[in-house]
Amino acid sequence: MATTNLVPCPDCGHLLSRMAPACPSCARPLRPAPPREGLFLRTLNQLVAVVFWGPLLWLLVAFLGGIAGVLLARIE
């Protein structure tokens, strides 16, 4: 049986899967942890989203209101 999916742990030499997040024998992390988004960056991202999507939403509402006004004027 081929063991191409198993690699030795760099610290203890225990065979483990290439997809394992950490060694089950010595608990050495094999992949770097994903970066955590702090409160400041989360708040900044939300602010950027509001600044971008807010005016776009207002333009869309105004545009649809204008179309509805024209259509209602044609009916009368």
pLDDT digits (tens, 9 = 90+) for 8-50: 998 998 999 988 889 988 999 988 877 777 889 989 999 999 9
Binned at pLDDT 50, 70 and 90, residue 2 comes out as: low
Residue type, 33: A
Q: Are 63 and 57 in contact (CB under 8 A)?
A: no
Q: Which two tokens stand for residue 63?
A: 């545009």
Separation of alpha carbons 17 and 6, rounded Å? 5
Q: 6 pLDDT exceeds 70?
A: yes
pTM above 0.75, yes or no: no
How many C-beta atoms surround the C-beta of residue 22 within 10 A? 13
